[in-house]
A and B are shown apart, each in its own frame.
Chain A
């Protein structure tokens, strides 16, 4: 069975500082990994994904994520956070080659607060 863990409920940083949101996963096959962002009272928006290839993936709004197979992690990063990055962030995984590789499993979410 596939699963995702986001160990931090909340992350708080000052504007201009680096932002990291942590994610670890468990799959039986190969992972497709995703990050989504949710602004208040909105649906989820896709940020970036890792399918294969370069372990460093770049996405929307200046975000990037690093895939680490040995640590089964896919941490989201932004070199210089903005107040407008304050939102709820979700990590998700598809288990390609698992019992049902269409399904996407989500972590519990991490609330990011960027203070001015």
Chain B
């Protein structure tokens, strides 16, 4: 059982380049989300999805796009990278039913924008 898998683990971009961070989970979780982690600011929610075909914005959505065509995959797209998007990105998922609710996290993707 792989859990939540993120790729790539490391990426360096130049300003204006585009890229996609991949996230896949094999736990059949309805809810998936993307966070960015910056020193002293904790984790901030970028976008989230409560099921295939449904996405919504979090606290810091500007500069990022997402889609959810399948239950398993939730890619995060940077259309035109900016130095302010240098961060560590985490994908996470959980069940929406029952009393569980704890998030399962990927190992993170460290992005540097020059």
Q: Please report A residues at the B interface, Cβ cutoff 8 Å.
A: 6, 9, 32, 34, 36, 41-46, 49, 51-52, 90, 92, 94, 100, 102-109
Contact = CB atoms under 8 A, between A and B. Distances in A.
Contact of B105 (A9, A41, A44): A44
Interface of B: 4, 31, 33, 35, 40-45, 48, 50, 56, 58, 90, 92, 94, 96, 99, 101-108
A49 B45 CA distance: 20
Contacts of B50: 102
A72 B56 CA distance: 28
A102 B103 contact: no
A44 B103 CA distance: 9
Contacts, number: 61
A52 B107 CA distance: 30
Q: Which 4 A-B pairs have the closest CB atoms?
A: A43-B105, A108-B42, A106-B43, A44-B105
A51 B103 contact: no
B101 A90 contact: no
B40 A108 contact: yes
Given A9-B40, A43-B90, A43-B106, A32 B101 contact: yes
A43 B101 contact: no
